[in-house]
Amino acid sequence: MGRLLAAGTVEVLVENGTLGLVERAREGDVHYPDTTAGRWLRPAEGMVHAHCPSNVIDARVRVELWEREPDGKGVWSHTEETEAFFPAGELCVYTLGETLPAGIGLASPGWYRVRMSWALNPETGPFYSPFKGQRGALEYAAAGHEAGLEGVDQYCLAQVWNLFG
- CATH code where residue 113 lies: 2.60.34.30
Count of structural domains, the chain: 1
Q: Looking at mean pLDDT, say which of 7-11, 122-126, 132-136, 160-164 comes out highest.
A: 7-11
- Mean pLDDT over 68-78 rounds to 82
110 pLDDT exceeds 70? yes
Q: Quick one: pLDDT band at residue 134, thresholds 50, 70, 90?
A: low
Percent of the chain with pLDDT over 70: 79
- Torsion of Cα atoms, 95 then 106 then 41 then 63, to 10°: -70
Global pTM value? 0.85
- Mean pLDDT over 63-83 rounds to 87
35 pLDDT exceeds 70? no
Q: In the predicted model, what is the mean pLDDT of the chain?
A: 81
28 pLDDT exceeds 80? no
